[in-house]
Amino acid sequence: MAEGTWQRVGSAVLLAPAPFDAERHLTDGQWAAILTITYGPRARISGDLALRRAGWDLAATPRLVVVPHKTAASLPQVRILRRPDGAAIRSREGFRFMPPLQALVDSLIVLGERRSADVIDLALQSRLIDAETFTRAVQPHLGSGHNGARCLRAMLERVASGSRSEAEQRMGALLDRSGTGPWARNLPVRDASNRVIAEIDFAHLGLRIAIEVDGRAHHTGRSAFERDRERQNILMLQGWLVLRFTWEQITQRPHEVLAAVRAAVTQRVA
């Protein structure tokens, strides 16, 4: 270790490249091992590691560990939540992960309202949560004295508003003023077996125009990118004209957005 070939991270010692950067050189699996070694076998890994393990591609979530007891152990950029032992998903290696919905709630508890709003918008846009399941997940944490209760109440109101993000709220206001409607929000598209195969942010049913909104916290992960393109192909093959607008277009160039929508309506009417 004095020579720098071996590095200590928490209570773990590992062979590492030099110069060593834990964020750049350690995989999620290695981080899971380090957290378990450092905080003990009863620790439950939450936050970003638990979310990615479940395939939830949510940027800006923190690194978290939930422990049932006080601990003097600490790691840079790792937040600790103290809570009695409970449900966990055990990996093949024996690491304990929080279920993804609870890992999301844990992340919101420590992030604060502004950053939590971006994460919630991203989760809604990615169709990872809905109002009913999110409400059940946050209810145990809303009482007085609970960490992050105020932030969770604000996020619950955001989810229950019926609009997936601030970008969609603004897009809805633009469409309401455009006189091009009626526009249905969050419309499910089903196949011949009545299975939901896509969901449209704003849909003009009569003209089969679909508007997809990429919010301020729009997902950039590879899996989310693939899902977006697959959904768009499905809609186009079913005869929908698909328009996509970004947060920047909606907030900074709304006249261009409205011009594109009106042009699409004119094209379809003709």
Please enumerate in sequence order all residues whose Cβ is within 8 A of that of 169, keeping only pairs 6 or more positions apart, or say none. Answer: 161, 163
* 3-state secondary structure (DSSP) of residue 5: coil
Distance CA 268, CA 270 (A): 5
Query: Are residues 58 and 51 in contact, defined by beta-carbon separation less than 8 angstroms?
Result: yes
Distance CA 33, CA 174 (A): 49
Taking the CA atoms of 53, 56, 62 and 65 in sequence, report the sign of the dihedral they define: negative
Lowest mean pLDDT among 122-126, 221-225, 247-251: 221-225
Q: How many Cα atoms are found within 13 Å in the side-chain-facing hemisphere of 113?
A: 9
Q: Look up tokens 């633009």; give the residue.
A: 174
113-170 tens-digit pLDDT: 989 988 988 888 777 888 889 999 999 999 877 889 999 999 998 888 765 667 888 8
Entry field: residues in the chain: 270
Residue 214 or residue 31, greater confidence: 31
Query: Are residues 103 and 28 in contact, defined by beta-carbon separation less than 8 angstroms?
Result: no
Summarize the confidence of residues 235-248 as an average pLDDT.
87
Summarize the confidence of residues 250-259 as an average pLDDT.
92
266: closest CA among 212, 210, 213, 207?
207
Query: Are residues 158 and 114 in contact, defined by beta-carbon separation less than 8 angstroms?
Result: no
Arithmetic mean of pLDDT over the chain? 86
- pLDDT score recorded for residue 165: 66
Q: Is the pTM of this model over 0.75?
A: no
**What single DSSP character describes residue 62?**
P
* 3-state secondary structure (DSSP) of residue 37: helix
- pLDDT score recorded for residue 219: 47
35-90 tens-digit pLDDT: 999 999 999 999 999 999 999 988 889 999 999 988 888 888 899 999 999 999 99
| pLDDT beyond 70 at 222 | no
Where do the domains of the chain lie, and which CATH numbers do they carry? 6-160 (no CATH), 166-269 (3.40.960.10)
Q: How many degrees, rounded to 5, is the angle at CA 26 between CA 23 and CA 30?
A: 130
